[in-house]
Amino acid sequence: AGLEPASRVLDIGCGLGRVAWPLGRELGPDGSYDGFDAAAVYVDWCANGLALDPQRVRFHFFDIYSSVYNPAGTINGEELVFPWPEGAFTLAIATSLFTHLSAKGTVNYLREIARTLERSGRLFASFFVLDSESREVIERRETFPHFTDAIEHGRVADAGSPDVAIAFNAEWLHEVFLSSGYALEAYVQGRWRDHAEKKDELYQDLVIARKL
């Protein structure tokens, strides 16, 4: 996705620092990293447990509602405005983020990411994408998650707690990327699609997009 020592990175859903830890060593003195998450305990761990340079590597807690990670959250992710100006970042990373967002939340986040990326900045993101192949293996219940319940623009694995795992229709997702101001540069299918023999693949489907 074009990572360079001077990249200005935004990590949406930074979790326990699985991206921050290596990037904190890849980025040079002119690079920076900002990560945010809806789980306060994750943010506290990253800020206090990773021993990364706090001047260049920063972590932020946003009290976003999530039935999985922050059920008492007060912020609706479908309306969240990122607290950074336009063009603040050169690279955005969202691994296993959109797999927990509603369709409206996905649209909002993709637009906010585009707003805060500089022109030609890139987004590296993972999804569960519903296309002809993945739908076929879902019907045979050979994927995990199984995505048994239909929703608008996709399926969920648990209707009682839909943000546990969400998959989106490929056609809809493609249109959202285009309407949000991106060009798609790469798409790689993940192992969740019953590609058990391909151990070197990402588990989820990978999308790399560039802001126009």
Give pLDDT, residue 144: 81
Residue (of 30, 69, 14, 24) closest to 50 by Cα position: 24
Q: Is 94 helix (H, G, I), strand (E, B) or coil?
A: strand
Per-residue pLDDT 10s for the chain (212 aa) are: 999 999 999 999 999 999 999 998 899 999 999 999 999 999 999 999 998 999 999 999 999 999 888 999 999 999 999 999 999 999 999 999 999 999 999 999 999 999 999 999 999 999 999 999 999 989 888 778 889 899 999 999 999 888 999 999 999 999 999 999 999 999 999 999 876 666 667 899 999 999 99
Pull the structure tokens for residue 137.
């293996």
Give pLDDT, residue 72: 94
Cα separation, 191 vs 185, in Å, equals: 20
| CB of 76 closer than 8 Å to CB of 65 | yes
Pull the structure tokens for residue 104.
């409206």
Give pLDDT, residue 196: 64
Q: Return the H-helix or E-strand segment holding 182.
A: strand 182-188
Q: Which amino acid is at 150?
A: A
Question: What is the reported pTM?
Answer: 0.94
